Amino acid sequence: MYKLFTIAKNTFIEILRQPVYAIIIIAALFLFFMSPSLTMYTMSDDNKLLREIGLSTLFLAGLFIAIFSASGAVAEEIENKTITTVLSKPVQRPIFIIAKFLGVAAAVILAHYICTIALLMTIRHGVLESASDTHDWTVLATAAVVAGGAFLLSAFFNYAYDWKFSSTAVVLTGIFATLGIVFLSFIDRNWQFNPADNGMNTVDIYGSVLLLLAAIIIVALAVALSARFNIVVTLSACIGIFLLGLVSDYTFGRLAEKQVFGAKLWATIGRYLVPNLQIFWISDAIYEGSDVPLKYILITASYAVCYTIAILALAVAIFQRRQVG
């Protein structure tokens, strides 16, 4: 367990220090900030469109972080020959693969958590649908304090203790964002204590949880592919599987209904092998105004856990025969 924890912790820290990690988070936060202005041109569904665009941003941010972080988790270790030092400790290969997965998953969860809080703040602010609507200055002030506090403290720690600015800023943003969303849970737009009118919806939280499960599946796939292929092949394969998983029901379901034996057989195999990412997307529930039952969350989580375990088992089997010396 000590070896597992050490490798996972080092992987987590390495990913936090990658510039692309902070860039994706900053880009997602900027899109959340701009989305209320970009969704005010529908006839009557501005806030529904705001929620859908916010979940789409959250989905893409989590998946890009998962793909870019996990694709080099094992491949870079092999290319740089640092893996030979790790495996000679000795560290069993299954422990190495699982630890890499846990480290990448922890980094993805942190980024997803920060973006989820930004999404909730954006939905709380809402769209200014008419001239009489005003900004939610409680949300804007809280977001400014979170961003400004994280930036200033990160700059101080970088100057005084030579801490890495980007990774420190991400961690501090997660801490300050937690305090900010707790504050907004009790204070309304008029700066009054009113928890009943905090503007937060359980459906949005469920949607974020489902998208996190999809990102974890992509992490497992990327780790499995990087155990056998280089970074370029892993990136391409993960993007292809992601796009195919979004249309899994349409592509494989349509072919599975045909009576041609060959097409039906391959479609059935494809439906089992390719992750169905469409089940993690609840856009229909948002537009119809319906609730997402907890039973659906549990079933989807079970699917994600089973698929992730199967992919990690395959990754361990592939890596056992990989020549790293």
- The mean of the pLDDT values for the chain is 85
Q: Which pLDDT score, from 0 to 100, does residue 255 have?
A: 66
Q: Which pLDDT score, from 0 to 100, does residue 324 have?
A: 67
**Average pLDDT of the residues in 289-318:** 90
Q: Which pLDDT score, from 0 to 100, does residue 44 have?
A: 63
What's the whole-model pTM score? 0.90
Q: Decide if 164 contacts 17 (C-beta within 8 A).
A: yes
> How many residues in the chain?
325
Residue 325: inside a domain, yes or no? no
Residue 178: inside a domain, yes or no? yes
Q: Which pLDDT score, from 0 to 100, does residue 237 have?
A: 86
Residue 219: inside a domain, yes or no? yes
Show the 3-state SS of 192-246.
CECHHHCCCCHHHHHHHHHHHHHHHHHHHHHHHHHCCCCHHHHHHHHHHHHHHHH
pLDDT tens profile 125-180: 888 777 677 888 999 999 999 999 999 999 999 999 999 999 999 999 999 999 99
Q: Which pLDDT score, from 0 to 100, does residue 110 have?
A: 95
Q: Which pLDDT score, from 0 to 100, does residue 230 have?
A: 80
Domain hosting residue 283, numbered range: 2-320
Residue 124: inside a domain, yes or no? yes
Query: Picking from 41-50, 258-267, 270-279, 285-294, which range would have the lowest pLDDT averaged per residue?
Result: 258-267
**Average pLDDT of the residues in 192-205:** 84
Is the pLDDT assigned to residue 30 strictly greater than 90? yes
pLDDT tens profile 240-270: 888 888 877 777 766 666 655 566 777 777 7
**Average pLDDT of the residues in 234-238:** 85
Q: Determine the straight-line distance between the first and last CA of the chain, rounded to whole angstroms.
A: 25
The secondary structure of 122-169 as a DSSP string is HHHH----STT----HHHHHHHHHHHHHHHHHHHHHHHHH---HHHHH
pLDDT tens profile 104-123: 999 999 999 999 999 999 99
**Average pLDDT of the residues in 64-73:** 82
More reliable by pLDDT, 273 or 108: 108
**Average pLDDT of the residues in 188-202:** 84
Q: What is the total count of domains within the chain?
A: 1
SS3 325: coil
Q: Decide if 231 contacts 222 (C-beta within 8 A).
A: no
Q: Identify the top-confidence range among 48-57, 78-87, 139-148.
A: 139-148
Residue 227: inside a domain, yes or no? yes
**Average pLDDT of the residues in 188-214:** 87
Query: Picking from 53-67, 162-176, 311-325, which range would have the lowest pLDDT averaged per residue?
Result: 311-325
Beta bridge partners of 193: 187
Residue 92: inside a domain, yes or no? yes
Q: Which pLDDT score, from 0 to 100, does residue 257 have?
A: 64
More reliable by pLDDT, 126 or 302: 302
Residue 203: inside a domain, yes or no? yes
More reliable by pLDDT, 226 or 325: 226
Contacts of residue 260, defined as CB under 8 A and 6 or more positions apart, other chains included, come to: none
Q: Which pLDDT score, from 0 to 100, does residue 263 have?
A: 66
